[in-house]
Amino acid sequence: MALSNFSKNISLMAMGVGGSQAIGLFASPIISRLFTPDDFGVAAVFLSVVTIAAIPSTLRLEHAVALPGTDREAFGVIYASLQAMCVSFFLIILTLYIGQSAFPSLIERSRLGGFIVFLPPAILLTGLVQLLVAWAAREKKFIAIGKANFWQSIVIVSTRIACGVSVGSSALVLVITQMIGGVNKVAIVGRSIVTMQDLKRLYLYRQSFRKVVSEYHQFPLYSVPTGLMRSFNENMPILLLAALFEPVSVGLFAMASRLIKLPIQVVGEPIRLAYLQKASELANTSVSLNKSLGKLTLALVFMSLLMIVPLALYGEELFEMVLGHSWAKAGIYGSIVSPWFASIFIQLPSACVYIVYKKQNQLLVFQSLATVSMLICGGVVFYSGMTIMQALALISCVGTLLNLTIIWNAFLIGKKESRVKADNLGGSI
């Protein structure tokens, strides 16, 4: 029954995510002809900054929402997460104000000068989406999550086509339409789980911020830096290309990574959320996580092959046929980094093991190693004068190896914890 519920949860969310990504995929040939790779590149840099900066905005307490045994405790965690977001919002504004005054040339080189005003609300919106989705997953509102993903894609695609036709190609349009889609997602998910009674309970059951952070200290202490480094590592190619090459190269890679991530987004996030819930339940029993983790990981390996093989053989031709001649090189870039993105997809359930067994410190070590490795890669690319394709190949190899190491260590953790539980059970007998 547990496995059936787990599969049902994945299916419910995957249907919504799959529908939303299908809309984005089918609209790509239109959008790619309305917006230039250069504008996609500028927007990609903005979204990368938002993605990275949004991680500490909640202190990663949204990941702890699924763990409390009672709703009273869960509401305390949610309230603390909202408090962290409010403080982060004003700190981001202050940081941007100081940074814009102290480093005007850096802002100008990044081509984000005209977008600075959108960064604080975009970061706040991203954090709010993450919190509401975690809350909805705890309440098992998987249909609402899938529905929100579906309508978010509808809103983004329709507004981009409308604006592209009426005003032409613009990075600002790409940024604003992404934010509009986020607002729509907040409205749909929030409406499904938040009632007036919930708001009252949220206030009544609030706990001391210090108490919540102390009880779930692993999340701000380990998950925040781990998430920051992981996000930095995943966005490293865009940031590196933006620093060393023309925006058009960033745009080509951004489009390639967006389309390659489609299968990851279709089933990856639903799998992560559903498996985190399942793993949390199994961790409190005598059942080993490794059996379910092994089956799920193997299934993701086979699914990844369906993505890698066609890209490796026909990547350039596929992108040119679907998106137009100006996007043909995006297929080459995509084939180079596809093993890396596949490894990110495969290790999603393994990352849940570190959370449920409170081994975020180990995940932090791996992400620290990944960050150092990526920075070294950036230095090698800069000083050796590598081409774009050589740079992407280096980053892809390093990222793939590190993700495989994370998976291997997750199985070691599961094996060790199972042995400890078996010993405790034997001792109690």
Residue 363: is its pLDDT beyond 50? yes
Rounded Cα distance between 289 and 399, Å, is 25
Phi, psi dihedral angles at 195 (to 5 degrees): -115, 175
- Domain definitions of the chain by residue range: 2-417
Of the candidates 227, 224, 202, which has an alpha carbon nearest to the alpha carbon of residue 213?
224
Worst-scoring range by mean pLDDT, 33-47, 48-62, 113-127, 309-323? 309-323
Percent of the chain that is helix, strand, coil (3-state, to 5): 90, 0, 10
Rounded Cα distance between 266 and 284, Å, is 29
Q: Are 357 and 337 in contact (CB under 8 A)?
A: no
Average pLDDT of span 53-71: 86
Worst-scoring range by mean pLDDT, 93-102, 127-136, 215-224, 332-341? 93-102
**Cβ neighbours, 10 Å, residue 377:** 22
Measured in Å, how far apart are the chain's first and last C-alpha atoms? 28
Here the tokens at position 147 are 């529905």
* Contacting residues for 194 by C-beta, under 8 A, at least 6 apart: 132
* Contacting residues for 124 by C-beta, under 8 A, at least 6 apart: 57, 85, 88, 89
Rounded Cα distance between 331 and 327, Å, is 8
How confident is the model at residue 184, as a pLDDT? Answer: 93
pLDDT digits (tens, 9 = 90+) for 237-283: 888 888 788 888 889 998 888 888 776 766 777 777 778 877 877 77
At 9, the pLDDT band (50, 70, 90 cuts) reads low
Angle in degrees, CA 164, 165, 166, rounded to 5: 95
Q: How many H-runs (helices) and E-runs (strands) does the chain carry?
A: 19, 0
Rounded Cα distance between 97 and 203, Å, is 33
Here the tokens at position 184 are 């729509």
Here the tokens at position 228 are 């920051």
How confident is the model at residue 1, as a pLDDT? Answer: 46
Angle in degrees, CA 360, 361, 365, rounded to 5: 115
Residue 429: is its pLDDT beyond 70? no
pLDDT digits (tens, 9 = 90+) for 208-242: 788 888 888 888 888 888 788 878 877 878 888 88
pLDDT digits (tens, 9 = 90+) for 343-355: 988 988 888 888 8
Q: Are 30 and 161 in contact (CB under 8 A)?
A: yes
